Structure 1
Amino acid sequence: MALTCSDICKFILAVVLPPLGVLAERGCTIDLLINVGLTLLGWIPGIIHAFYIILKY
Structure 2
Amino acid sequence: MGAASAVLLVLITILFPPVGVAIVSGCGADLFINIALTILGYIPGHIHAFYIEYVYYDRKEQARQGRLVGKRAPGVYSDRVQTGGQNYGTVVQPAHYANAPGP
TM-score, scaled relative to structure 1: 0.88
Aligned to 1:48: 47
Instruction: Give the RMSD, CA atoms, in angstroms.
Output: 1.2
| Greater mean deviation of Cα atoms: 5-14 or 29-38 | 5-14
Distance 2:33 2:22 in 1: 11
Q: Which runs of 5+ in 2 are unaligned?
A: 57-103
1:11-30 alignment, distance < 5 Å: 11-30=10-29
Q: Which runs of 5+ in 1 are unaligned?
A: none
| Greater mean deviation of Cα atoms: 18-27 or 5-14 | 5-14
Aligned to 1:10: 9
- Find the residue that maps to 1:25 and give its secondary structure: helix
Judging by fraction of residues, say which structure has more helix: 1
The number of residues matched between the two structures is: 55
Task: Kindly provide the CA deviation profile for residues 17-51 of structure 1, in whole angstroms up to 9, marking residues without a partner as x.
Answer: 00000011111011000000000000000011110
TM-score, scaled relative to structure 2: 0.51
Q: Which has the higher contact order (CA 8 A, sep 6+)?
A: 1
In the TM superposition, structure 1's runs of 4+ consecutive aligned residues that sit over 2 Å from their partners are none
